[in-house]
Amino acid sequence: MSGHTKIPPVIFYDRRGDVVTPHARSIVKPRRGVFALALAAADGAIMLSAEACAPDVPELPGGGIEEGETLDEAMRREWAEEVGIAFNADGPSRAFRHVRGFYSDDRDEFWIYDQTFRLYHFRDRVKIGEKWLNSEGGTAGWEALASLPELSINRAHWCAIPELLSGVARL
Specify the pairing of strand 45-50 against strand 28-40: antiparallel
Note whether 100 and 70 are within 8 A (CB).
no
- Domain residue limits, the chain: 12-165
Nearest-5° angle of CA 18, CA 47, CA 126? 155
pTM score:
0.89
The CATH number fitting domain 12-165, selected from 3.40.718.10, 3.90.79.10, 3.40.50.1100, 3.20.20.70: 3.90.79.10
- pLDDT score for 24: 87
pLDDT of residue 1: 45
Query: Each residue's pLDDT tens digit in the chain (171 positions)?
Result: 455 555 557 899 999 999 999 988 999 999 999 999 999 866 678 888 777 778 889 999 999 999 999 999 999 999 998 998 888 888 889 999 999 999 998 888 999 999 999 999 988 888 888 899 888 888 899 998 888 999 999 999 999 999 998 877 666
pLDDT for position 7: 52
Rounded Cα–Cα distance for residues 124 and 107 (Å): 35
